[in-house]
């Protein structure tokens, strides 16, 4: 089975802004999110801390014109190894340090009132996205399908510690295990994240040989996706805990399966209703008839009364799409269109001429109203 294409959550989505957002809009959105998720406002909440790091990373890229241009063009690939952005989205720009100083540590000082707090090593795993293409009928009736994704999983060798079994992580000598270094600036005591341990308070001196100290490894994972009946284009199905593994014992992220539904060659969907067009001949429209039509649920018949006009719609109840997570179905709307023959034999032409001679103006639909309008225009 082919490996799925899995993408990271978009930086613009992380900051809840559009791709055309101005610098001020980016800054305002980041400041709001930073204040909401800052660790000092959410003690003992690893998920909030991870959200804070995620939005800081996104702002660090999008607030830099060069990095933003690279991201807009290449996405996350711009900052992968060998990518146009050079691997690290903060490399060389100093944005990460500035963000930590200005927003992270200062917010901590404002809301924690000087209390010293060691940054937690626990990190929630990233959410993943998988794009699944469905046949039209699969979206209508539902389908169960196995998919394979490539994701980070906890390293079994070190059990997520990042260190070898023989040597556990040691206390950081730079910050003494506090994860922060504080300096006095006027009336404020400003805390800076320890650069040596990245705020964790500990250092891995002997990294795990399997994961190289990263606590996670990349593996393929197969999951059974159950698509309910009645889904539509861009429906998102969330699988909690099926995203990338968290680091240092953090909870895993979620997997979002986004559906792309193929079009049907005959039916067109409008909400939970289906629409189609059925051609009929002039004699069928004039004399009336009974036609058979293939629906998604089998063959049905439609009674066409005599004198039916082109464009008339007939509704078949409960022959549409099932209501998602509810009982009942939509309807099937069939529009009939009278077809005019392109070629006629001499005998057919003679018969039509005879028919025309026997038909008065009153037998032509709407002809009297049209005649009166034309007479008003040219009188």
149 is written with which tokens? 């994704």
276 is in an annotated binding site: no
The model's pTM: 0.57
Q: Is residue 224 classed as helix, strand or coil in its secondary structure?
A: strand
269: which residues sit within 8 A by CB, 6+ positions away?
A: 136, 232, 275, 321
* 3-class SS of residue 337: strand
On whether 211 is known to bind a ligand per the annotation, the reply is yes
- Cβ proximity of 172 and 179 under 8 Å: yes
Please, are residues 314 and 336 in contact by the beta-carbon 8 Å criterion? yes
Answer whether 259's CB lies under 8 Å from 233's CB: yes
Place of tokens 């707090």: 117
Instruction: Give the residue from 307, 317, 268 showing the smallest Cα distance to 287.
Output: 307
User: Whole-angstrom Cα distance, residue 240 to residue 127?
Assistant: 9
Which 3 state secondary structure label does DSSP give 158? coil
> What domains sit in the chain, N to C, each tagged with a CATH number?
1-120 (1.10.287.110), 128-151+206-262 (2.60.260.20), 268-378 (2.60.260.20)
What are the φ/ψ torsions at residue 375 (nearest 5 degrees)? -65, -35
Nearest Cα neighbor of 6 from 290, 309, 220 is 220
55 assigned to a ligand binding site: no
Q: How many CB atoms lie within 10 A of CB 353?
A: 10
pLDDT of 285 reads 93
Give the 3-state secondary structure of residue 303.
strand
194 has binding-site annotation: yes
User: Token pair of 180, please?
Assistant: 């922060």
Classify strands 273-281 and 332-339 as parallel, antiparallel or unpaired. parallel
- Token pair of 42, please? 């959410």
Any alpha helices (H) in 288-366, and if so which ranges? Answer: 346-358
Q: Which tokens belong to 337?
A: 């269109």
Three-point CA angle 231, 233, 239, nearest 5°: 60
Tens digit of pLDDT at every position of the chain (379 positions): 444 444 567 888 889 999 888 888 888 899 888 888 887 778 778 888 888 888 888 888 898 888 888 888 877 777 765 555 555 554 444 344 444 444 444 444 444 444 444 445 567 889 999 999 999 999 999 999 999 999 999 888 888 778 887 787 888 888 888 888 877 665 566 778 888 887 778 888 888 889 888 888 999 999 999 999 999 999 999 999 999 998 766 789 999 999 999 999 999 999 999 999 999 999 999 999 999 999 999 999 999 999 999 999 999 999 999 999 899 999 999 999 999 888 889 998 888 888 888 876 555 555 455 445 544 544 4
């Amino acid at each position: 089975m082919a490996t799925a294409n899995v993408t990271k959550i978009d930086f613009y989505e992380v900051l809840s802004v559009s791709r055309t957002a101005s610098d001020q809009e980016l800054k305002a959105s980041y400041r709001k999110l930073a204040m909401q998720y800052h660790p000092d406002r959410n003690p003992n909440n690893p998920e909030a801390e991870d959200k804070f790091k995620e939005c800081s990373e996104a702002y660090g890229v999008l607030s830099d014109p060069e990095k933003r241009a690279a991201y807009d063009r290449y996405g996350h690939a711009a900052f992968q190894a060998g990518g146009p952005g050079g691997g690290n989205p903060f490399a060389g720009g100093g944005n990460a340090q500035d963000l930590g100083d200005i927003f992270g540590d200062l917010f901590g000082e404002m809301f924690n009132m000087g209390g010293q707090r060691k940054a937690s090593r626990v990190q929630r795993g990233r959410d993943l996205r998988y794009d699944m293409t469905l046949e039209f009928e699969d979206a209508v009736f539902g389908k169960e399908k196995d998919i394979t994704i490539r994701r980070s999983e906890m390293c079994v060798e070190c059990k997520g510690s990042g260190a070898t079994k023989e040597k556990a992580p040691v206390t950081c000598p730079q910050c003494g295990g506090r994860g922060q270094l504080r300096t006095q600036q006027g009336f404020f005591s400003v805390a800076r994240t320890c650069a040596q341990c990245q705020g964790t308070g500990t250092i891995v001196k002997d990294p795990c040989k399997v994961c190289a100290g990263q606590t996670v490894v990349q593996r393929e994972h197969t999951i059974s996706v159950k698509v309910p009946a009645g889904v539509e284009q861009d429906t998102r199905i969330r699988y909690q805990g099926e995203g990338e593994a968290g680091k240092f014992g953090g909870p895993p992220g979620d997997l979002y399966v986004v559906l792309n539904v193929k079009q049907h060659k005959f039916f067109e969907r409008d909400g939970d209703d289906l629409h189609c067009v059925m051609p009929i001949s002039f004699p069928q429209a004039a004399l009336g008839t009974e036609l058979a039509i293939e629906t998604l649920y089998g063959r049905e018949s439609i009674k066409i009364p005599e004198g039916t006009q082109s464009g008339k719609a007939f509704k078949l109840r409960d022959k549409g799409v099932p209501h998602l997570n509810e009982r009942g179905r939509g309807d099937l709307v069939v529009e009939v269109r009278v077809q005019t023959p392109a070629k006629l034999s001499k005998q057919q032409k003679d018969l039509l001429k005879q028919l025309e001679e026997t038909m008065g103006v009153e037998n032509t639909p709407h002809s009297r109203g049209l005649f009166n309008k034309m007479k008003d225009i040219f009188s």
